Amino acid sequence: MDPRTPPPTENAAVALSGWRMPAAFVARVSSQAVATLVLLSIAAFGLTLAARGDPAQIALQQDGQTPTPELLATYRAQLGLDDPLPVRYMHWSAAALHGDLGRSLLSNRPVAQILGERILPTLLLAGSALVLSTIAGLLVGIALANAHGSTVEFATRGSLTLLASVPAFWLSITLIVLFGERWHLLPVAGYGTWQQFVMPAVALAVAPAAALTRLTRGLLLETRREDYVRTAQAKGLTPGTVARRHKLRKGLTALSQRANFQPTLDTVHWT
């Protein structure tokens, strides 16, 4: 046997230790995820307790019944409101794990059914905002990189920084007042037509688009100083060809790895 070759027992020990490291990592991450879910469930259950009003009284009033003490006692017993809080939490969490989120006190409908009706509009709105922010961020970022050092770039950067600093709820109110109430160009509520998606999608897309613009511009300006770009320019290629074949390809590849579509105010500073 080659003296440099470790004995089989050492190889087995190394392989076993190599398996233990991923297993320990998976166990740690899994335990953290379970603990997080438990804490979130406790917080959600606590919010239901912090809501104003008596659930039994609200439910009876919604049914058109007078909440007498006898009816309240019967309804509380049916809902398990007289049980201790730990028991109520265990019943609530066990039902939630099976997909039973209870019934709405206002409409007396299953909560899971109500949430299911809202999933599609929510996904459509989120997808519309994502597509809009991506297209706007890429196009404006490319335009700013091409206009580097100009007055247009300086003015656009300032405007985008201002828009990214505006809270989404305030921007939403402004859009409703201007385009819905004053100019009557877009509907302010409802669901079913593309016009009703415009204002909420724009309000959600402004901040991510500003961050993506900043990333696109910065990466394209970085690629301009790369050796392969200078080599392409030295070969006599036109600026458009250099931009398409080298700057955009390299910059967008790096952008796809670094883009974050939920920016904070720290991500919209300009360099």
* Cβ atoms 220, 253 nearer than 8 A: no
* Cβ atoms 237, 255 nearer than 8 A: no
- Residues contacting 206, CB < 8 A, separation 6+: 133, 163, 164, 166, 168, 171
Within a domain: 104: no
Within a domain: 61: no
Within a domain: 23: no
Within a domain: 256: yes
DSSP string of 220-250, one letter each residue: HHHHTTSHHHHHHHHTT--HHHHIIIIIIHH
- The single residue listed with the structure tokens 């900043």 is 214
Within a domain: 91: no
Within a domain: 196: yes
pLDDT of residue 256: 66
Tokens of 58: 């609200």
Within a domain: 236: yes
- Averages of pLDDT over each 10 residues, the chain, 271 residues: 52 50 77 92 87 77 81 84 89 88 81 89 92 91 86 88 86 93 91 90 92 87 78 77 71 61 40 41
* Cβ atoms 213, 251 nearer than 8 A: no
State the CB neighbour count (10 A cutoff) for residue 49: 10
Tell me the residue range of the domain where 150 lies. 113-268
Q: Minimal CA–CA distance to 89: which of 137, 160, 158, 39?
A: 39
Within a domain: 122: yes
- In the chain, the number of structural domains is 1
What's this model's pTM, rounded to 2 decimal places? 0.68
